[in-house]
Amino acid sequence: MSDLDCGVRAVHVPEAVEVWQTILREASQAVVRDRLMSRVVNVLVTPHSDLAGAMACLLARKLHDDGIDRPTLAGLISDAYEDMPDIVAATAADLLAIRDRDPSCEDLLTPFLYFKGFQALQAHRVSHWLWTGGRIHLARHMQSRISETFAADFHPAARMGRGIMIDHGTSLVIGETSVVEDDVSMLQEVTLGGTGKAGGDRHPKVRRGVLIGAGAKILGNITVGEGAKVGAGSIVLDNVAPFTTVVGVPARPVARNAAMAALTMDQTWPHDHDRTG
């Protein structure tokens, strides 16, 4: 396979069309600004007719190994997209979320090409598709390659919504029975983990619009309510009420949020911890 031929099929997803057109425009502008970008763009962007094809090829380049070569892996990812186009729609929503919430990112091309938190999440979506289809060991192989490549460890069974921003992504751990709903934002070194060796439903449920700060650990089959905020470095062992900020070790409520914390990306909280809103 040449660098320009990934051999994947187009998957038309209406939600992704405008996103892909924007990436194409931004890629052209990047080449105009710096001619050394032409090779990157001509390999990873312009040969592809849609977001699905480009994403499949990019992930295959990142994750292939001696066990599964690049053409085979690209085809497998393309199969996932054909079977479940909602994965591609979620990818588009994730890109828009990053552009809207990350002050260091003003375009869609940058996270598509370079943000490993975003790329790890898209690869997880494929491993989850494999897991739910009963292809357990192949899903595990994908999980391992995601961890080795992006330093983020998603169990293939974990359920992730759309419009999710994972900033940086390093040392992220999301356990088997975790659920992360739409429009969540989380930073590096977040753990959604269990509390022991018991099986069953044992991991957190993170509801829509939650913001999880860097280094926060949320442990056990607990719920972080809609619009809540978990302060950086906190350890959360109990349910968090909707639209509530919790901080500390162990975490406790310190404020009420007026809006979806994930969308505002306001990572501050009152220094007076006796204030609960």
pTM of the shown model: 0.93
Give the pLDDT confidence score for residue 207 in this predicted structure. 98
Domain ranges of the chain: 7-151, 171-277
Contact at 8 Å (CB) between 50 and 72? Answer: no
Q: What is 171-277's CATH topology?
A: UDP N-Acetylglucosamine Acyltransferase; domain 1 (2.160.10)
H or E segment and range at residue 206: strand 205-206
Give the pLDDT confidence score for residue 269 in this predicted structure. 83
Q: Which residues contact 51 (CB under 8 A, 6 or more apart)?
A: 13, 16, 19, 20, 23, 88, 91, 92
Enter the tokens of residue 87: 């994965």
Task: Output the tens digit of pLDDT for each of the chain's 277 residues.
Answer: 444 456 677 788 889 999 999 999 999 999 999 999 999 999 999 999 999 999 999 999 999 999 999 999 999 999 999 999 999 999 999 999 999 999 999 999 999 999 999 999 999 999 999 999 999 999 999 999 999 999 999 999 999 999 999 999 999 999 999 999 999 999 999 999 999 888 899 999 999 999 999 999 999 999 999 999 999 999 999 999 999 999 999 999 999 999 999 999 999 987 755 444 4
pLDDT, one tens digit per residue, over 205-242 is: 999 999 999 999 999 999 999 999 999 999 999 999 99
Second CATH level (architecture) for the domain 7-151:
Orthogonal Bundle (1.10)
Strands 252-256 and 244-247 come out as antiparallel
CA 93 to chain centre: 10
Give the pLDDT confidence score for residue 11 in this predicted structure. 82
pLDDT, one tens digit per residue, over 42-53 is: 999 999 999 999
Contact at 8 Å (CB) between 256 and 240? Answer: no
Q: How far apart are CA 34 and CA 30, in angstroms?
A: 6
